[in-house]
A = this chain, B = another copy of it.
Amino acid sequence: MAREQISREQAVAPYFVGVDLGGTNIKIGVVDDCGQTLAQTAVPTNETLGAEAAMQRSHAAILKLLAELQLTIDDVAAVGLGSPGSMDISKGLILEPPNMPTWRYFPIRDCLGKLCGKPVGFANDANAAAYGEYWVGSGRQFKSLVMFTLGTGVGGGIIVDGVSLDGSHSFGSELGHIIVDSRPDARLCVWGGGQGQLEAYCSAPAVAARTADLLATGRESSLTSRIAQAEELSSLMVFEEAERGDDLSREVILETARLLGVGIVTVVHTVDPEAIILGGAMNFGGHATATGKMFLDRIRAEFQERAYHVVRDTITIDYATLGGDAGYVGAAGIGRLLYQRTNS
């Protein structure tokens, strides 16, 4: 579901371009000074062709998108780029992105900057998404927020007074790596590390893996017949069967919520934001489904039970509203921050 787009007449100059680099696609949007989207597109990442080719493809798509709006690159004040980690934000480098070996240590920010002839704000992809929600999404009425992105991994973004908590090694806000189970036999992340860390329980593959473990104990579930038909067990399948009332699927989702609630308590006691925003593809349908509501209710209940009373009743916990657009919108916003800083 694409974000509502505004016409050029409705837009407030200056314009910004946001680029959200993902493992499969690169999402690109033209965003106005109020965070409204004028146009968006996506190009394949084609990671095997290398980072420079991907930036050239992105640049071409930007020019095409602008032309469709009867704009040129001269109408753009700045560009923003959100990238998966690890990265060196101050140097503009992508360091060791998972599954993208040919991209290592590539000066991606300056490459895109040279192609566009524009200053480029650079951020971690989850921090960019958090900034998007903070700027114009479900966090727009708050001065500070923490966002969890639940998907292939668990990412995080922390915005305090409009500033992203990037950390001193560009590793701030990596909330998938907070520890929720300190036992020696705690789960490992699907990539084999991160024992007991949030990502080992609350990513989409982790939800599937935990479900498989429960099924392996011989428990009944409507998942079993689907798997028997050679369907691959996934968090989406767990969601679908939970919607149909499957107890085991619901139990997995409730335990996911409990552990996410634990992580949220820890982050709240560290950062004390005004809001917690839940983004990413794995939201079990969000507010639109019974399972999505159950998931959020269980997270809120765990938070209520464990949070210190000063913060218990004042912090909003809710789903994100920008969906898959948060990344490029937030990246554009990071570009805008850079523009404002250098032009004030």
Contact = CB atoms under 8 A, between A and B. Distances in A.
A308 B195 CA distance: 11
Given A86-B310, A308-B174, A308-B177, A272 B167 contact: yes
A178 interface: yes
Interface string A151-166: 0000010101000011
Contacts of A267: 270
A87 to B, nearest CB: 9
Contacts of A268: 171
Nearest to A258: B182
A308 B272 contact: no
Contacts of A95: 310
B310 A178 contact: no
Given A182-B181, A259-B182, A270 B175 contact: yes
Copies in the complex: 2
B259 A168 contact: no
B272 A175 contact: no
A180 interface: yes
B165 A271 contact: yes
Interface residues on chain A, size class = 35 or more
Contact of A175 (B169, B183, B269, B273): B269
A268 B175 CA distance: 10
B266 A178 contact: yes
A269 B176 CA distance: 8
A168 B272 contact: yes
Contact of A169 (B168, B171, B266, B272): B272
A147 B314 CA distance: 26
Contacts of A244: none
Interface in A172-207: 172-175, 177-183, 194-197
Given A179-B180, A180-B179, A262-B179, A310 B269 contact: no
A171 B274 contact: no
Contact of A306 (B167, B179, B262, B310): B179
A144 interface: yes
A265 interface: yes
A271 B274 contact: no
7 contacts: A166-B272, A167-B271, A172-B272, A174-B308, A175-B269, A267-B270, A270-B271
Given A165-B270, A181-B183, A270-B270, 19 more contacts: A144-B168, A158-B270, A165-B271, A167-B271, A167-B273, A169-B272, A169-B310, A170-B272, A171-B269, A171-B272, A171-B308, A171-B310, A171-B311, A177-B265, A178-B265, A181-B181, A182-B259, A196-B262, A270-B271
